[in-house]
Amino acid sequence: MLRRATDGEIPAVASLIAANPMALLQQPEAWLREIAEGEARGVLIWDEGGIDGFAVIDWEYPGVIGLWNLGVVQPRRGIGKRLIRAVLDEVFGKLGAHRLFCDAAFDNAAAIAAFGKAGFVREGVMRECWEREPGVWVDCLAFSMLAHEWRARG
């Protein structure tokens, strides 16, 4: 089930993000706490008995939400698929957004496959958008989904 993170869970989410070398946006705990306070933004938890996954969303423009981070604790168990579906339902169904966008490093095969299977459209390449380590810039792939695409997927 998807739910909002409690204040006490924010450090755990920050640790999960910090431990993932493929996370494009290393979000500090203070920033996550700020995001968690908003109604149309938030740190979301996928809970099947604890913190099994998380997503960080934020309004960027009227009707447009960015998916800034998403991860699962144990990959390849179907949790990511359920988490993404729940995030889409939250963003389009509950929050009424028109567009959701996200990105992934060019070599993050798991994220690229997950977004594709979920119905996101690949919009293009953002050249050297992320400094993976000092002096090493990598390309990222941009993805999005529109509300009518989400509705068509049923």
CATH number of the domain residue 67 falls in: 3.40.630.30
Mean pLDDT, the chain, rounded, equals: 90
β-strands 53-61, 64-72 pairing:
antiparallel
What pLDDT score does 77 carry?
Answer: 79
Domain span at 34: 2-153
Among residues 25, 18, 14, which one has the least CA distance to residue 104? 25
Higher pLDDT, 52 or 40: 52
Quickly list DSSP for 6-37. Answer: PGGGHHHHHHHHHT-TT-SS---HHHHHHHHT
Condensed to tens digits (0 to 9), the pLDDT of residues 100-144 reads: 999 999 999 989 999 999 999 999 999 999 888 899 999 999 999
| Report field, pTM of the whole predicted structure over 0.85 | yes
Q: How many domains does the chain have?
A: 1
